[in-house]
Structure 1
Amino acid sequence: MNLSPAKIDASPEIENWLAQFPEDQRITARLLLSRLQFVSRDVYSAWLQRVVAALPSGKTYALYSVRKLEHGSPLWNDEGEIVARPGDSLGSEDLVYSLVANLARANPQTLLDHSSLTELRDKKIHDYLLIDDSIGSGDRVSGFINAMLSHPTFLSWWSFGLVRIHVVSFARPCEAEVKIVAKIKGSDHGKRKFRKSSKVDFTSEIVYDTDWLEGRWGENHQQVIQLCRGQTKIPTKRRLGYGGVMANLVFYHSVPNNIPGVLWFTNEKWQGLMPARAVPDWLLALIDQTSLVASEVATSQTDEIVRLLALIKRGVRSSRSIASRLGVDHKYAVGLLGGAQEMGLLTAQVRLTAAGLDRLKHAGSTLALPVWNRSLYIPSSWCAGRATVQPPTKEELASLGLADSVEVSAFTDGDVGQTSLERSDAKAATPPFSVMPHLPAVSGVNHDTDGPLGSKDR
């Protein structure tokens, strides 16, 4: 769910927040609000129930809600009992903790609620579900796993390959898996019998690329970034959110700190829209004016199948590439491909069938797929001069008022009626190494012992 332009304009609270921006920045601030995605408690709870219901049968799972612990603090005390939670609120972990308790009460034979080491040993538990709402930098999850490994008993189970950890979060960045595995204890060397990366897996509803800001903030994402960076009343480290993630996902029960600081940071100079990282009641009422119904969920699932077919028609057939484009887990993408094949939309070779092509045609112009920027990137440190690297574009020629008939080669030698400064400089000084002509690479077979051609006189 998100905020429509009509809802944004109708809210006096949002107008007060917008008044803190200069007049020329308020349109971009409205755009930032419209790109936020809100997740209700019911949506999150229903998703978690589906994940748990899909777990392989015949096993017993120990469930733990991920929370931030002091560095070096163990999850279990010396007697093997779970460390007590503090009396004050822990933010997003409070809802997850209550959901874990409800799941365990509904399935007492297969799900355990924050078990002690004694219970884990007696029931010979090997699978552990660490549940969170959203992963940002991965520090909280890796710290929680290391707190589990701080107890020597659990560490020995881990070392002998008796532990399998399943990290379950509604959303996470693609980079989270590598970061979390790198920070937890243990070795991932290829010669290890039980590599730590083989003992941890991830499940999420939304998987996004941190660097692909256009997927979250739209085509005008650069304007949104400049807006957030330009708010000097907010500390630098909080302007783009924790870790510079620039996430756009907001939960009803908690506001993540990896969303832009203009939305939640509050001090004597700035009043955030969601102060103390909590969604105010007026904002909940504004969002819930158009609630999410079951038919809308079914429509989103149908759109997902259509997007899959469109990607395959474009030539994207690798399951990992499809997962990246759709923003889902790899195993979910594999299941989506299998479902499309069972529906007769795809062949075993991942090609569109006649039914799949017909389904795609009937989707019409409502289908929206991400447009990837494939333009060539040239670091500025590689460039000795603008004209020496690449010719100007037609837009640059037009901005200079040159006629279309003027050849690019003529422009690079100097404007009409002018002597080329670059050519005169070239006569006076040796050109830099980055623009000197180089011979093509040659094979190493029968390599000349005297060195490459031109290295010395023959």
Structure 2
Amino acid sequence: MSNQPEALSESKTAQRWIAQFDDGDREDAASLVDRLELFNEGQVTDAITRQLEEIDTAQGRVALYAEREISQATAFPIETYSNPHGNLSERAVAHAKFKPVSPRRGATRVGSEGWMAFLISQAIKANPRFVNHPAPRQYNSAKRTNRIRQIVIVTDFIGSGDRIWTMLHKFWRVPTFAAWWSRGYIRFHVVAAVGTSGGVARIKSHPCRPTVCVANVVSTLTGPQPKPWAEKWLRLAKRYGKDHDQPLGHKETAALVAFDYGMPNNVPAVLGQQFKRWKPLFSGRAPSDLRSFFGLPQTTADLLRSSIENQWAKLKRVLDFRSRRRDRAEMLAFLLALRGRWHADAEVEVAERSGLPTQDVLRLRGVAMSAGWISESSRLTDSGRKLLKAGLARRRREVNKVAGSNAPYYPTSLRVS
């Protein structure tokens, strides 16, 4: 383990990828690959499971659907009937089933939608108030509290947001669901482990006004606002990806993310696609020399330690979170990422800038307001500016752990020595 590279760019897989660049561009290519945010399957599963557990089912049952492409024009077939006034109307076919996920031709697994369907089946075992891909007839019940009140679409990653937007729209085009929504009977909800701020904004623009919950927001090279830090990587991606029809990935998202089970099509083409004589960083599952960077065990010893210590990667995060150093670093990252007044969905923007999960952003905002470091509009106060200045000056100084306390520690002042 002592020979393990510290940076992703130093791995054998990354070195082979970097070697494709001209000598003068290899430093920028190495920094680009080191900027990727990495997630493993276990982290994605935990993030989705945790968010599903937080959904309120007291007011009614919740329909869970795995994100997927729907080839039909609508989520369910529509039939014409004569209403009580003698006029012709349209409605969903009551007994129509939501088309099940099927394996892709030539593939051994059904893709992320099959995995999401499995997570949904596990969530239903834990909470019988959830309903697995229900048909329209299952939405009504004689008992009011047993009626389905929420439609939740589950996905691992939101890139451009187009696929979920389209899925929502195909529910929206079913007259029955549109009528239920207009009367307040149902609401739409999206749960994702990882996403981009642009993708989240795209989904929220749908007329059904869905609630979108994303555990981790990743950076992109593109966006509505210019990103000076991304300019050199944008030039690199465009120049070396010029032979690909989408050099910045699907919908020019240019997301800086990779999963141990594969790269999404929203990353720059030079990272995730093979074209002409160009080879991606990796295709399919991550090679063995990258496993440790994804928080996965690499050797038999690692596997045994993971088993004994109950998923070391997860435990390590908890232990780090309990340390004063981690708490201070998170607070400083949050304060640095603040821009202007707080507004709806500001946690998504702050999460992208800081690299913190959205739930931690909201938690840290509450702590900072209670401590008087920010105002109610989330602007830095004088004490907040002093904390930030002192914290940045001492960012490399070792801080001893507080013995006998598991509670997060937030100093009220930091002295510069």
TM over 0.5: yes
2:270 matched residue in structure 1: 262
Return the alpha-carbon distance in structure 2 between the equivalents of residues 21 and 348 of structure 1: 49
Q: Does 1:338 align with 2:366?
A: yes
Q: Does 1:85 align with 2:101?
A: yes
Q: Which runs of 5+ in 1 are unaligned?
A: 189-195, 369-458
Return the alpha-carbon distance in structure 2 between the equivalents of residues 255 and 353 of structure 1: 41
Instruction: Flag the 1:301–1:70 CA change in 2: closer, same or farther, 3 A.
Output: farther
AA paired with 2:101? R
2:37 matched residue in structure 1: 37
Moved more, 296-305 or 79-88: 296-305
Q: Does 1:131 align with 2:131?
A: no
1:363 matched residue in structure 2: 391
Instruction: Flag the 1:7–1:118 CA change in 2: closer, same or farther, 3 A.
Output: same
2:281 matched residue in structure 1: 273
User: For 1:205, which of 209, 215, 219 is the aligned residue?
Assistant: 215
Check whether the contact 1:340–1:346 (CA below 8 A) recurs between aligned residues.
yes
Q: How many residues align?
A: 346
Instruction: Flag the 1:135–1:301 CA change in 2: closer, same or farther, 3 A.
Output: farther
Check whether the contact 2:218–2:256 (CA below 8 A) recurs between aligned residues.
no
Instruction: Flag the 1:41–1:22 CA change in 2: closer, same or farther, 3 A.
Output: same
AA paired with 2:121? A
Give 1:208 shift: 5.9
2:301 matched residue in structure 1: none
Check whether the contact 2:218–2:255 (CA below 8 A) recurs between aligned residues.
no
Q: Does 1:296 align with 2:320?
A: yes
Instruction: Flag the 1:61–1:339 CA change in 2: closer, same or farther, 3 A.
Output: farther
Give 1:181 shift: 5.1
Q: Does 1:231 align with 2:259?
A: no
**Relative contact order, higher structure (CA 8 A, sep 6+):** 2
2:331 matched residue in structure 1: 305
AA paired with 1:203? C
Give 1:169 shift: 1.8
AA paired with 2:122? N
**TM-score scaled by length of structure 2:** 0.69
Give 1:38 shift: 0.4
Return the alpha-carbon distance in structure 2 between the equivalents of residues 41 and 231 of structure 1: 30
Q: CA offsets, 1:382-406, max 9 Å, x none?
A: xxxxxxxxxxxxxxxxxxxxxxxxx
Check whether the contact 1:234–1:265 (CA below 8 A) recurs between aligned residues.
no
Q: Does 1:252 align with 2:260?
A: yes
SS in 1 for 2:75: coil
Of all paired residues, the percent bearing the same amino acid is: 22
SS in 1 for 2:69: coil
Give 1:64 shift: 1.4
Moved more, 76-85 or 26-35: 76-85
Q: Does 1:113 align with 2:132?
A: yes
Larger Rg: 1
Instruction: Flag the 1:50–1:224 CA change in 2: closer, same or farther, 3 A.
Output: same
1:242 matched residue in structure 2: 250
1:432 matched residue in structure 2: none
Give 1:6 shift: 4.0
Q: CA offsets, 1:237-259, max 9 Å, x none?
A: 1x111111110011223421110
Give 1:94 shift: 2.7
Give 1:150 shift: 4.4
AA paired with 1:274? F
Instruction: Flag the 1:112–1:283 CA change in 2: closer, same or farther, 3 A.
Output: same
Q: Does 1:21 align with 2:30?
A: no
Return the alpha-carbon distance in structure 2 between the equivalents of residues 97 and 350 of structure 1: 39
Instruction: Flag the 1:349–1:236 CA change in 2: closer, same or farther, 3 A.
Output: closer
Return the alpha-carbon distance in structure 2 between the equivalents of residues 351 and 225 of structure 1: 32
Check whether the contact 1:136–1:176 (CA below 8 A) recurs between aligned residues.
yes
Q: Which runs of 5+ in 2 are unaligned?
A: 78-91, 298-312, 397-417
**TM-score scaled by length of structure 1:** 0.63
SS in 2 for 1:16: helix
